[in-house]
Amino acid sequence: MSWTCEIALRASSDGDADAVRDSRVAAQTWFVAGPRQALSALAGLASFDLYTPAQGPSHDPYNHDGAGPAMMLMLDFADRAQLAAAVTSGAIAAALGTLPVGIAVTGAAFERRFYPVGDDPRPAPLEAPFSYVVRYHRPADDEAAFIRNYLDTHPVTQARLPAIRSIMCYLPLDDLRVTDLATANYMIGNEVVFDDIAAFNGAMASPVRQELREHYHEFPRFTGANTHFPMTRTRLVG
């Protein structure tokens, strides 16, 4: 496992494609101008990944949630104490500084669990660049039962997706709120990783994807949103 803070930046404009595009460009300029270096200098930081919307057509037969956030900043820390210090001290919000116009931000702290893929019993590391980032939001009728069902059924099935490179589940640490950032109110997160978008599309066309859909229909009842975003990951630190 690892200890991770997610910072998600989204264009706050609705329905205007030009405004959303402009907001994303502004976010990229803002990030390079200051937050990238400031976040990279956080105490205890083990790795720092930048996620941006993947280019090219992705084909999940059941989910079409669009390109997703303008960017996601995934900060992984050496241990839980280092993560707690970063998120509760205000250091992350200070490193972000003033957000560009048209961008909204949320923060979340996680225990991130890695799972095996294929026939290898060892958890697979995060190395390939294409990620399908999934988040389930509260509420559920029985959140503990939902999480237990998800962890018991999804990663072990995802491990059989063709060409999959790594699998992670994200368990929110509700006692660690990111100071001065809005909460994302997640219930659980998941991420499946491939070499490229073509490999992902092939996996989504496989019988294993149908099995995962069957699991979805067997989840304990929940009424929160669930999102699925194809993204490209770039390792900045670590």
Q: Kind of pairing, strands 71-77 and 2-11? A: antiparallel
Q: Which of 180, 45, 175, 183 is nearest to 111 (CA)?
A: 175
Q: What is the pLDDT of residues 104-132, one digit of tens each?
A: 999 999 999 999 999 999 999 999 999 99
Distance CA 226, CA 224 (A): 7
Task: Determine the CATH number of domain 2-237.
Answer: 3.30.70.100
| R_g over Cα of the chain | 17
Q: Which of 106, 109, 108 is nearest to 82 (CA)?
A: 109
Distance CA 74, CA 107 (A): 10
Q: What is the pLDDT of residues 7-49, one digit of tens each?
A: 999 987 655 677 777 878 888 999 999 999 999 999 999 999 9
Q: Which residues contact 88 (CB under 8 A, 6 or more apart)?
A: 176, 177, 179
pLDDT for residue 136 is more than 60: yes
- The pLDDT, as a whole number, for residue 72 is 97
Average pLDDT (171-188) is 96
- The pLDDT, as a whole number, for residue 113 is 98
* pTM of this structure: 0.95
User: Taking the C-alpha atoms of 165, 169, 170 and 171 in order, what is their torsion angle to the nearest 10 degrees?
Assistant: -160
Is residue 51 within 8 Å of residue 133, measured between CB atoms? yes
Is residue 47 within 8 Å of residue 53, measured between CB atoms? no
Q: Compute CA distances 231 → 26, 86, 130, 236, whole Å.
A: 19, 25, 6, 15
Q: Compute CA distances 191 → 43, 44, 58, 170, whole Å.
A: 26, 24, 15, 8
Distance CA 65, CA 135 (A): 11
Longest dimension (CA), the chain: 48
Distance CA 199, CA 201 (A): 5
Residue 33 DSSP symbol: H
Q: How many CA atoms lie within 13 A of 144 on its CB side?
A: 0
- The pLDDT, as a whole number, for residue 67 is 66
- The pLDDT, as a whole number, for residue 221 is 97
Q: Compute CA distances 46 → 4, 36, 99, 142, whole Å.
A: 10, 15, 25, 34
Q: How many CA atoms lie within 13 A of 212 on its CB side?
A: 22
3-class SS of residue 34: coil
Size of the chain, expressed as the number of residues it contains: 238
Tokens of 192: 């499946």
